[in-house]
Amino acid sequence: MSESAEELQAEVARLRAENERLKGTASRGMSIRVSEKGGVSVYGLGRFPVTLYKEQWVKLLDMAEDIRTFIAQNEGKLKTKG
């Protein structure tokens, strides 16, 4: 294992950048991963991940404004997680 000082410095820089990226994800408490079956899983919303296939996420994201409007119109009926 005869890595040069430059290689070690590059590796340290890479690891520091990765560490900072992970800290950002941890502070949000959410992460996104590819599931075993090839879906998109969002972790951190509840006890279990929310997993949908990419076309399902696209459809859902296309409805974002409708969902926000629905939530606003039904504010009195909706509960918050607490």
What digits encode the pLDDT tens for the residues 57-82? 999 999 999 999 999 999 999 999 86
Which string of DSSP letters, residue by residue, matches 34-62?
Answer: E-TTS-EEEESSSSS-EEE-HHHHHHHHH
Residue 82 in any domain: the answer is: no
Domain span at 68: 5-73
* C-beta of residue 71 within 8 angstroms of C-beta of residue 63: no
User: What pLDDT does residue 31 have?
Assistant: 94
Provide the mean pLDDT of the chain. 90
Does the pLDDT of residue 21 top 60, yes or no? yes
Residue 45 in any domain: the answer is: yes
Report how far residue 35's alpha carbon sits from residue 57's, in angstroms, rounded to the nearest whole number: 14
Determine phi and psi for 41, rounding to 5 degrees: -110, 130
Residue 60 in any domain: the answer is: yes
- Give me the number of domains the chain comprises: 1
What is the crossing angle of helices 64-73 and 54-62, to 10°? 50
Residue 23 in any domain: the answer is: yes
Residue 80 in any domain: the answer is: no
User: What pLDDT does residue 23 have?
Assistant: 72
Residue 81 in any domain: the answer is: no
